């Protein structure tokens, strides 16, 4: 999968999601979701897990509690979800996904970079440090600290402020519908990296106001660097 909509982009900053984009944390999140549901006497299906993709701890806990028939148990669900997620990530540090290290190496001396994630701030810092990625970023922001979680735009707007970049001159890199929606609402251009078919099932209403989007199957795709750096990337490839 590789196509673009909406024309070219001029980037002054790049802002990355973390889970499922930089690091393969899917197993840890799924284990935490299942454990939380089991704590409430409920069993998740594949459809439930799909609906939880990209959720924050708070959003995931509230959804699971609602499915289990007791919204009043959201606090208990939140405690379990956060605890199991943290323990799972400590026990089995998540691997860096293909293309990430090379892309960050190309970008971090040219553009200010940030992470904008729904993950809790302490867990986010731990996994990025453990993966050796933290130093590539000028800022790391959790939606828990920035305001509402994705799909609200709060964490992307906060990241742009932290980097001193206008949203229309920043690009978001995402793998989930919730994250892509948040970036869109914040006014950023977008790279969607996913092997799932959700862009076809529930396509984003892009381009909005001329903001472009690139769809690829992963950050290792050659088109990603060119989409972000534009002519500069093309010149670099020609010289190389």
Domain-wise residue ranges, the chain: 2-24+95-239, 26-91
Looking at residue 157, its pLDDT comes to 97
Is 24 noted as a catalytic residue in this protein? no
For the entire predicted model, the pTM comes to 0.86
Least confident of 15-19, 68-72, 114-118, 202-206: 202-206
Structural element, H or E, at residue 214: strand 213-216
Q: pLDDT tens, 88-108?
A: 999 999 999 999 999 999 999
Looking at residue 237, its pLDDT comes to 35
Average pLDDT over residues 114-141: 94
Average pLDDT over residues 108-118: 95
Looking at residue 210, its pLDDT comes to 58
Say which of 19, 58, 154, 175 is annotated catalytic: 19
Is 154 noted as a catalytic residue in this protein? no
Looking at residue 4, its pLDDT comes to 54
Average pLDDT over residues 133-148: 92
On the question of pLDDT at 8 being above 60, the answer is: no
Band (pLDDT 50/70/90 cuts) for residue 212 is: confident
CATH 3.40.50.1000 applies to domain 2-24+95-239: yes
d(Cα 177, Cα 201) in Å, to the nearest integer? 11
Helices and strands of the chain, counted as H and E runs? 12, 7
Residue 192: count of CB within 10 angstroms of its CB = 24
Say which of 17, 58, 154, 175 is annotated catalytic: 17
Residues forming a β-bridge with 191: 173, 214
Average pLDDT over residues 5-24: 84
d(Cα 96, Cα 178) in Å, to the nearest integer? 21
Mean pLDDT of the chain: 86
Q: Could you tell me which residue, 237 or 85, shows the higher pLDDT?
A: 85
* Maximum CA extent, the chain: 61
């Amino acid at each position: 999968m590789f196509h673009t909509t909406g024309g070219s982009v001029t980037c002054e900053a790049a802002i990355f999601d973390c889970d499922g984009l930089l690091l393969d944390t899917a197993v840890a999140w799924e284990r935490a979701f299942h454990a939380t549901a089991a704590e409430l006497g409920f069993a998740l299906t594949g459809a439930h897990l799909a609906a939880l993709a990209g959720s924050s701890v708070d959003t995931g806990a509230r959804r699971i509690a609602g499915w289990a028939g007791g919204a009043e148990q959201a606090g208990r669900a939140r405690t379990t979800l956060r605890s199991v997620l943290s323990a799972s990530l400590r026990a089995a540090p998540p691997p860096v996904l293909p293309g990430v290290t090379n892309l960050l190496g190309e970008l971090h001396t040219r553009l200010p970079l940030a992470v904008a994630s729904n993950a809790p701030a302490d867990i986010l810092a731990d996994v990025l440090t453990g993966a050796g990625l933290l130093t590539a970023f000028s800022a790391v922001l959790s939606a828990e600290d920035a305001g509402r979680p994705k799909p609200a735009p709060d964490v992307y707007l906060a990241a742009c402020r932290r980097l001193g970049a206008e949203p229309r001159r920043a690009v978001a890199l995402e793998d989930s519908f919730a994250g892509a929606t948040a970036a869109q609402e914040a006014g950023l251009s977008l790279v969607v990296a996913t092997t799932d078919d959700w862009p076809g099932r529930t396509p984003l209403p892009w381009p909005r106001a001329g903001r472009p989007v690139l769809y690829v199957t992963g950050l290792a795709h050659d088109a990603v660097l060119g989409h972000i750096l534009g002519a500069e990337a093309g010149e670099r490839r020609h010289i190389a």
